[in-house]
Chains A and B, each alone.
Chain A
Amino acid sequence: MRAAPVRRAVRPRPRHTARASRVRRKGTTWEIRTFVATSAVIAAVFLLAMLYLAQTTTVSTLGYEAQRLQQTRDELRRQNALLEVDNARLDAPARIQAEATKLGLVRAASVPVFQLDQITAKR
Chain B
Amino acid sequence: MTEAVSPRRIRVVFALFACATLLLTLRVGYWQTLGRGDLLAGATDQVRSDLVLAAQRGVVRDRTGALLATTVALRSLYAIPKRIGDTAAIEAAASKLAPLLGTTDDAVRRSLESGAEWLYLRRRLPEETAKAIESLGISGLGFEAEPKRLYPNDAAGAHLLGFVNDDGVGQYGIEGAYDEALRGSPGSLVVERDPQDRQLALGLRIARPPVNGADLTLTVDLVIQTAAEGVLREAIQKEHAPSGSVVVLDPRDGAILALASYPTYDPASVAKADPQALQDRAISWTYEPGSTMKAVTIAAAIDQHVVTPNTTYDDKGYAVIGGRVLHNALDKAYGVSTVTQILEHSANAGAVFVASKLGAEQLHAYLGAFGFGTATGVDLAAEARGDVRPTAEWYPVDLGTIAFGQGIAATPLQLAAAYAAIANGGTLYRPYVVATRRDADGEHRTAPVAVRRPISAETAATMRTMLTSSVDNGISNGAAVRGFSVAGKTGTAQIPSDDGRYLDDAYVSSFAGFAPANDPRFVAVIVLERPQSRLLGTLTAMAAFKSLAVDTLRALKIQPDRP
Contact = CB atoms under 8 A, between A and B. Distances in A.
Interface of A: 56, 59-60, 62-64, 66-67, 78, 81-82, 84-89, 91-94, 97, 110-111, 113, 115
A110 B483 CA distance: 9
9 contacts: A59-B202, A60-B200, A64-B201, A81-B72, A84-B67, A88-B67, A89-B153, A92-B154, A94-B154
B66 A91 contact: yes
Contacts of B11: none
A120 to B, nearest CB: 16
Nearest to A77: B73
Which of A59, A66, A89, A115 gathers most chain B CB within 10 Å? A89
Contact of B201 (A62, A85, A91, A94): A62
Nearest to A89: B152
B145 A78 contact: yes
B156 A56 contact: no
B22 to A, nearest CB: 32
B127 A64 contact: no
A66 B70 CA distance: 28
Main secondary structure of the interface of A (DSSP, over half): helix
A116 to B, nearest CB: 11
A88 B482 CA distance: 33
- Top 10 A-B pairs, shortest CB-CB distance: A63-B201, A88-B152, A88-B67, A93-B226, A81-B72, A89-B152, A92-B153, A85-B152, A113-B559, A94-B226
Given A59-B202, A88-B152, A88-B153, 7 more contacts: A59-B201, A60-B201, A60-B202, A66-B201, A81-B70, A93-B226, A94-B229
B435 interface: no
B222 interface: yes
Interface string B476-492: 00000011000000000
B223 interface: yes
B9 interface: no
Given A92-B152, A93-B226, A110-B483, A82 B202 contact: no
A91 B153 CA distance: 9
A88 B154 CA distance: 11
A43 to B, nearest CB: 26
Contacts of A63: 199-202
Contacts of A92: 152-154, 156, 222, 226
B445 interface: no
Interface of B: 66-67, 70, 72-73, 127, 145, 150, 152-154, 156, 198-202, 222-223, 226-227, 229-230, 482-483, 554, 559-560
Most buried by B among A59, A66, A86, A88: A88
A33 to B, nearest CB: 36
A67 B198 contact: yes
A58 to B, nearest CB: 10
Contacts of A56: 202
Contact of B72 (A64, A82, A91): A82
Contacts of A85: 67, 70, 72, 150, 152
Contact of A88 (B66, B73, B199): B66
B226 A97 contact: yes
A115 B145 CA distance: 54
A54 to B, nearest CB: 13
A13 B487 CA distance: 137
B202 A67 contact: no
Contact of B482 (A78, A84, A91, A110): A110
B554 A111 contact: yes
A90 B527 CA distance: 31
Contact of A113 (B70, B200, B227, B560): B560
Contacts of B202: 56, 59-60, 63
Contacts of B199: 63, 67
A120 B227 CA distance: 34
B212 to A, nearest CB: 12
Contacts of B222: 92-93
Nearest to B205: A63
Contacts of B145: 78
A32 B153 CA distance: 86
A24 B508 CA distance: 124
A78 to B, nearest CB: 5
A93 B145 CA distance: 30
Given A63-B201, A113-B560, A82 B483 contact: no
Best-surrounded residue of A59, A67, A81 (most CB of chain B within 10 A): A81
Nearest to B75: A78
A118 to B, nearest CB: 11
Contacts of B560: 113
A78 B201 contact: no
B418 to A, nearest CB: 29
B93 to A, nearest CB: 25
B516 to A, nearest CB: 12
B420 to A, nearest CB: 24
B70 A84 contact: yes
A93 B67 CA distance: 12
Contacts of A60: 200-202
Nearest to A96: B226
B156 A94 contact: yes
A110 B145 CA distance: 49
A78 B153 contact: no
B554 A94 contact: no
Contacts of B156: 92-94
B223 A93 contact: yes
A115 B66 CA distance: 29
Contacts of B152: 85-86, 88-89, 92
A82 B150 CA distance: 10
B73 A78 contact: yes
B376 to A, nearest CB: 27
Contacts of B559: 113, 115
A1 to B, nearest CB: 78
A37 to B, nearest CB: 32
B429 to A, nearest CB: 27
A79 to B, nearest CB: 8
Nearest to A81: B72
Contacts of A89: 152-153
